[in-house]
Amino acid sequence: MKPVLLVIAHGSRDARHAATVHALVRRVRSLRPDVRVETGFLDFNLPSAQGVLESLAAEGVRDVVALPLLLTRAFHAKADIPAVLRDSPPQLRIRQAEVLGPSPLLLTALERRLYEAGLTPADKSSTGVVLASAGSTDPEAIAVIADIAREWRHTGWCAVRPAFASAALPRTEDAVRELRALGCSRVAVAPYVLAPGFLPDRIARGAADADVLAEVLGPAPEVARVLLRRYEAARMPSLAAIGA
């Protein structure tokens, strides 16, 4: 039997966060009805990731792939989630999958959201984009966002600048001003976040002077596909290593 896929989300006091996570998980289930997919949260929402693991063990489940619903490898992926997994019932064999980003599919999802917000492919060369993430104190996570912005710029946008809602600079509003100063005809803000909440709302406020504000990635089909790729890579690492 295939391992159970446990999607571990951060959680939020904002009800929109859990609703978006569940919508994404429903899309994943629709793509892979042969895989059992469960959802657990680190904080604020139920069920907790620890509670789901205990329930699975009580059912007799043995194999689990724990997938961090995160876009970068920062504190939650490196510390919080491993701590939860270490405290799980000993009869469970758990493999922790990689975080979702970076991935070309996520760039496709970002563009999907921008086009849904009103841009067209013909607008790319004259549009500057702010790649707005939640932010982190982890240098690795910050460097990844900068790398993604550089890569995305090469697909035809006027310019792409990273921005952060917390813990790092520049802020979204500063990146918007920079793109204006560069001479881009229009400026769009693309939130590189998975679900609504406090920090995405801060990104939205920082986008007040932009021409376009895209929605969060949410249950975009590309996000679901990346999630399943990470699951398969954790489930069958030898095949993933040769590009299967």
Specify the amino acid at residue 210.
A
Residues 41 and 128 in one domain: no
Domain count, the chain: 2
Predicted pLDDT at 59 = 98
CA 80 – CA 67 distance, rounded (Å)? 13
Q: What is the pLDDT of residues 106-118, one digit of tens each?
A: 999 999 999 999 9
Structure confidence at residue 14 (pLDDT): 97
The answer on pLDDT for 65 being more than 90 is yes
pLDDT at 244 exceeding the cut of 60: no
Would you say residue 240 has pLDDT above 80? no
Whether residue 187 is found in the same domain as residue 90: no
Which H or E run includes 212? strand 212-213
pLDDT value for 237: 78
Residues 122 and 209 in one domain: yes
Q: Measure the CA–CA gap between 3 and 6, rounded to whole angstroms.
A: 9
Q: Say if residue 86 is in the same domain as residue 43.
A: yes
Average pLDDT value for residue range 38-56? 98
pLDDT tens-digit map of 82-91: 999 999 999 9
CATH of the domain at 90: 3.40.50.1400
137 and 108 in a common domain: yes
Check whether residue 86 and residue 167 sit in a common domain.
no
pLDDT at position 241 over 80: no
Residue 50 phi/psi, 5-degree rounding, is -65, -40
pLDDT at residue 124 is higher than 50: yes
Per-residue pLDDT, 238? 58
pLDDT single digits (tens) 199-222: 999 999 999 999 999 999 999 999
Q: At what angle do helices 104-116 and 221-235 cross, to 10 degrees?
A: 170
120 has a pLDDT exceeding 50: yes
**Lateral strand order in the sheet of 4-9:** 37-41, 4-9, 63-68, 93-96
Q: What percent of the chain has pLDDT above 90?
A: 95
* Confidence at residue 239, expressed as pLDDT on a 0 to 100 scale: 55
81 and 121 co-located in one domain: no
Average pLDDT over residues 74-89: 95
User: How is residue 107 written in tokens?
Assistant: 């760039």
Q: Is the pLDDT of residue 60 over 50?
A: yes
Domain that holds residue 63: 4-101+220-241
- Same domain? For 108 and 48 the reply is no
Inter-CA distances, 189 with 46, 47, 55, 111, 215, Å:
31, 33, 41, 11, 9
Q: pTM for the full model?
A: 0.95
97 and 109 in a single domain? The answer is no
Instruction: Say whether both 116 and 186 belong to one domain.
Output: yes
